[in-house]
């Protein structure tokens, strides 16, 4: 695991990136020293120079060897890395970096305040990286992430390949303020992974809770080396430790992720497992279209017709009746019926059909769109998809702090009640929350 932004290497070729087309050698060439000879090919090399000054020294020696005994003129504009950013510009970067401003916004601020300077984005990134390395005090990115987690009071667990290699395979982190919110609102939990958040290619799993007032909160997040059942089981076991033995979520909502389904049932056997209806509908429409000679109209009609009746059936008998209608209308498509039964109805109907999902309190959460929206919130705080673990920790920590402020502003802290106080039946509460979402 390396640094966020690698240092810049300079080559002499960069110095000629915008050189004009070589003129006809028969025409006098005063720009080449007055001897009518084009020496530009002598200043081309494959050698790598670690700094502008090294490249300039090389060019100076070439010029002297060609008989030029005067000092080579170099133009440092665009190479502020030689003389460095001014102290004022550095202070601007420090202040805006602490405020988690993006590099492009930092650049605008510097140009507006110091109009005589000529920095480029590389200078911004390099100085940000210098700030990060100074704060790490010699720790590598993984050690720095864990140091920051301890410093901010996070509950965290880390899994490594073995004690000797110390290569992280999974990391689980929970903000202390969100753990407190979780103790009050542990009823509904959604899980989903997102990608392109870090330079290591680790899936980024977010665990999201919801309050009765329809507000998300990030319970915890995890880095995983892969999306196998082993990795998911490890994360879910840590989530269970975070909840404690006395607290059992009423509903856990996910996509139909192959590596996730079995671990959820094993780790939380007393919680109802719900599948995202939005993903189910999309999968059904796409697969039925494919099975019906790639006819998208047939797929859409199936989803909005018989399949909708099945999913929205309010009783078991109504569901069975809708299944019979489906089998009658689509009997000429045996592959469609086989797919629907084997993929969804045989083993999973209780995870998405209203007749069963209304038996459990879920506050109207039958889709993972809440977790998807949380992905968008977190990514809006990240500068890029190539951050290191410690950089991502700082960004996500700032995002969570902002979320804590919103929760307090909305008055949830003053309304906190233990979930045992809820007296209405699950079906009534789910109905009320669905009505609220639709309005």
* Final residue of a structural domain among 136, 151, 175: 136
Structural domain span for residue 341: 277-357
* 264 and 289 share one domain: no
- The count of structural domains within the chain is 4
Pseudo-torsion of CA 254, 255, 261, 264, nearest 10°?
Answer: -10
Instruction: Return the pLDDT at 73.
Output: 55
Considering the domain architecture, whether residues 237 and 336 belong to the same structural domain is answered as: no
Tallying the residues shown for the chain, one arrives at 439
Task: State how far the Cα of 296 lies from the Cα of 304, in Å rounded to an integer.
Answer: 12
Domain assignment of residue 377, yes or no: no
* CATH (domain of 176): 3.30.420
- pLDDT given at position 172: 97
Answer whether residue 47 is part of any domain.
Answer: yes
262 and 390 inside one domain: yes
Task: Tell me: do 323 and 177 sit in the same domain.
Answer: no
* Assigned domain for 369 exists: no
Residue spans of beta strands (DSSP E) within 55-177: 155-160, 168-174
CA distance 262 to 266: 6
Same domain, 190 and 242: yes
Within 167-222, residue ranges assigned H as helices are 176-184
Nearest Cα to Cα of residue 218 among 15, 61, 378, 23: 378
Whether 132 and 174 share a structural domain: no
Residues 160 and 260 in one domain: yes
Picking from 334, 332, 319, 326, the residue whose alpha carbon sits closest to that of residue 304 is 326
Is 341 a domain residue? Answer: yes
Query: Does residue 215 belong to any structural domain of this protein?
Result: yes
How far apart, in whole angstroms, are the C-alpha atoms of residue 66 and residue 300?
A: 76
Q: Which of 74, 102, 118 is the endpoint of a domain?
A: 74
Q: Is residue 169 part of a domain?
A: yes
In a domain, 362, yes or no: no
Q: Which residues neighbour 19 within 8 Å (Cβ) at sequence distance 6 or greater?
A: 40
Residue 22 shares a structural domain with residue 161: no
Assess if residue 323 is contained within a domain.
Answer: yes
DSSP one-letter string for 308-364: HHHHT-SSHHHHHHHHHHHHHHTTT-HHHHHHHIIIIIHHHGGGT-HHHHTTS--TT
267 and 192 part of one domain = yes
Judge if 272 and 208 occupy the same domain.
Answer: yes
> Do residue 255 and residue 344 come from a single domain?
no
Quick check: helix, strand or coil at residue 172?
Answer: strand
CA dist., res. 326 & res. 306, Å (int): 6
Residues 234 and 151 in one domain: yes
Query: pTM for the complete prediction?
Result: 0.68
The pLDDT assigned to 13 comes to 30
Domain final residue pick, 34, 58, 74: 74
Q: What is the mean pLDDT of each run of 10 residues along the chain (439 residues)?
A: 34 33 41 57 78 78 69 51 72 84 86 84 85 83 92 94 77 94 90 87 90 83 94 96 92 90 94 93 96 95 96 96 96 96 95 93 76 70 78 90 80 47 46 45
């Amino acid at each position: 695991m390396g640094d966020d932004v690698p240092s810049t290497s300079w080559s002499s070729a960069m110095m000629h990136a915008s050189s004009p087309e070589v003129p006809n050698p028969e025409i006098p060439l005063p720009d080449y020293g007055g001897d009518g000879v084009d020496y530009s090919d002598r200043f081309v090399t494959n050698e790598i120079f670690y700094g502008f000054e090294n490249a300039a020294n090389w060019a100076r020696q070439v010029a002297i060897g060609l008989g030029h005994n005067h000092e080579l003129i170099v133009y440092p504009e665009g190479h502020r890395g030689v003389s460095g950013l001014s102290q004022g510009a550095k202070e601007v970067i420090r202040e805006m970096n602490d405020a988690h401003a993006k590099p492009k916004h930092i650049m605008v601020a510097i140009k507006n305040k110091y109009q005589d300077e000529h920095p480029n984005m590389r200078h911004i990134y390099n100085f940000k990286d210098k700030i990060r390395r100074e704060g790490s005090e010699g720790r590598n990115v993984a050690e720095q992430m864990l140091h920051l987690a301890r410093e901010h009071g996070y509950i965290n667990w880390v899994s490594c390949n073995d004690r000797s290699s110390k290569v992280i395979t999974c990391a689980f982190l929970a903000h202390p303020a969100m753990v407190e919110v979780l103790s009050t609102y542990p009823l509904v939990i959604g899980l989903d992974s997102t990608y392109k958040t870090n330079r290591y290619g680790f899936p980024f799993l977010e665990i999201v809770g919801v309050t009765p007032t329809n507000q998300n909160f990030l319970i915890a997040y995890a880095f995983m080396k892969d999306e196998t059942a082993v990795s998911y089981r490890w994360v879910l076991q840590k989530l269970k430790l975070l909840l404690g033995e006395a607290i059992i979520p009423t509903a856990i909502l996910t996509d139909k992720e192959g590596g996730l389904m079995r671990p959820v049932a094993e780790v939380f056997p007393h919680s109802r497992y719900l599948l995202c209806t939005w993903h189910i509908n999309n999968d059904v429409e796409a697969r039925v279209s494919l099975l019906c000679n790639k006819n998208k109209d047939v797929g859409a009609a199936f989803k909005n017709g018989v399949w909708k009746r099945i999913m929205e059936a309010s009783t078991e008998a109504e569901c069975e009746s809708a299944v019979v209608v489906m089998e009658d209308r689509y009997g000429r498509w045996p592959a469609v019926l086989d797919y629907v039964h084997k993929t969804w109805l045989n083993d999973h109907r209780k995870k998405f059909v209203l007749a069963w999902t209304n038996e459990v309190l879920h506050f109207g959460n039958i889709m993972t769109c809440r977790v998807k929206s949380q992905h968008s919130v977190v990514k809006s705080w990240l500068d890029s998809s190539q951050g290191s673990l410690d950089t991502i920790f700082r960004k996500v920590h700032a995002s969570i702090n902002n979320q804590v402020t919103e929760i307090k502003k909305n008055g949830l802290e003053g309304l906190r009640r233990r979930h045992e106080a809820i007296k209405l039946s699950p079906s009534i509460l789910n109905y009320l929350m669905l009505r609220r979402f639709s309005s």
